[in-house]
Amino acid sequence: MKLSHVHGFLALGVQVAFFILFCAFVRYHPDAHARYHPLVNGSELENELDHYKSDDPWIHSKSYPMFQDVHVMIFIGFGFLMMFLKRYGLSAVGLNFMIAALCLQWAILVNGFFHLKKGTIVVDLNAMLGADFTAAAVLISFGVLLGKTTPTQLIVLALMEIPLFAVNEVIGRSYFGAIDMGDSMFVHVFGAYFGLAVSLMLHRRDASTEKEGSSYQSDLFAMIGTVFLWLYWPSFNAGAAPGDDQHRGIINTYISLAACCLTTFALSTLLDKHKKFDMVHVQNSTLAGGVAVGTAADLMIHPWGAALIGILAALVSVCGYMFLTPLLASRLRIHDTCGVHNLHGLPGILAAIIGAVAAGVASEASYGLSLYEIFPARAPLEDSLELQKLQEVLPDLEGGSGISGTSQALYQLLALLVTLVIAIAGGIVTGIVLRLKPLALLKTEELYEDEKWWIMEAEEDEGHKGSVTIPMADNGAR
SS3 for 240?
A: coil
Torsion region of 275: left, alpha or beta (phi above 0 gives left; psi -120 to 50 gives alpha): left
Shortest Cβ 309–a copy of itself spacing (Å): 10
Interacting positions 455-474 with a copy of itself (CB under 8 A): 455-461, 464-465, 468-474
> With respect to a copy of itself, which residue has the nearer C-beta, 124 or 336?
124
d(CA 201, CA 332): 11
Among 196, 288, 334, 371, binds a copy of itself (CB under 8 A): 371
- The reply on whether position 275 binds a copy of itself by CB under 8 A is yes
Interacting positions 233-272 with a copy of itself (CB under 8 A): 235, 238, 242-248, 250-251, 254-255, 257-259, 261-263, 265-270, 272
Shortest Cβ 395–a copy of itself spacing (Å): 8
SS3 for 214?
A: strand
Among 128, 140, 192, 318, binds a copy of itself (CB under 8 A): 128
Shortest Cβ 186–a copy of itself spacing (Å): 22
> With respect to a copy of itself, which residue has the nearer C-beta, 124 or 169?
124
Shortest Cβ 375–a copy of itself spacing (Å): 11
In contact, 157 and 198? CB cutoff 8 Å: yes
d(CA 369, CA 117): 30
Q: Which stretch binds a copy of itself (CB under 8 A): 5-13, 178-186, 398-406, 407-415?
A: 5-13
> With respect to a copy of itself, which residue has the nearer C-beta, 9 or 114?
9
For β-strands 52-53 and 61-62, DSSP reports them as antiparallel
d(CA 436, CA 152): 11
Four-point Cα dihedral 312, 313, 315, 316, nearest 10: 110
Interacting positions 277-336 with a copy of itself (CB under 8 A): 277-279, 282, 286, 300, 302-304, 307-308, 311
For the packed helices 125-145 and 64-72, what is the interaxial angle rounded to 10 degrees?
A: 10
- The reply on whether position 223 binds a copy of itself by CB under 8 A is yes
CA 390 to chain centre: 36
CA distances from 45 to 41, 55, 260 (A): 10, 13, 41
Shortest Cβ 167–a copy of itself spacing (Å): 23
d(CA 286, CA 266): 11
Interacting positions 162-201 with a copy of itself (CB under 8 A): none
> With respect to a copy of itself, which residue has the nearer C-beta, 83 or 422?
83
Among 410, 429, 441, 477, binds a copy of itself (CB under 8 A): 477
Among 82, 83, 136, 359, binds a copy of itself (CB under 8 A): 83
For 285-323, b/e burial (b = at least 16 CB within 10 A) is bbbbbbbbbbbbbbbbbeeebbbbbbbbbbbbbbebbbe
Interacting positions 94-123 with a copy of itself (CB under 8 A): 94, 97-98, 101-102, 104-105, 108, 123
> With respect to a copy of itself, which residue has the nearer C-beta, 266 or 425?
266
Interacting positions 330-369 with a copy of itself (CB under 8 A): 366-369
> With respect to a copy of itself, which residue has the nearer C-beta, 227 or 353?
227
Which neighbouring-strand residues pair with 214? 85
> Within 10 A of 224 (CB to CB), how many other CB atoms are there?
16
Interacting positions 61-80 with a copy of itself (CB under 8 A): 61, 63-66, 68-69, 71-72, 75-76, 79-80
> Within 10 A of 53 (CB to CB), how many other CB atoms are there?
16
d(CA 256, CA 311): 8
Binding mask 19-58 for a copy of itself (x = CB under 8 A): x--xx--xxxx-xxxxxxxxxx----x-xxxxxxx-----
CA distances from 317 to 80, 115, 224, 287, 346 (A): 20, 36, 20, 9, 7
Q: Which stretch binds a copy of itself (CB under 8 A): 162-170, 175-183, 326-334, 449-457?
A: 449-457
Q: Which stretch binds a copy of itself (CB under 8 A): 10-18, 159-167, 378-386, 405-413?
A: 10-18
Shortest Cβ 447–a copy of itself spacing (Å): 15
Number of residues this chain uses to bind a copy of itself (CB under 8 A) = 164
Task: Judge residue 9's burial from the number of C-beta atoms within 10 Å of its C-beta, 0-12 exposed, 13-18 middle, 19 or more buried.
Answer: exposed
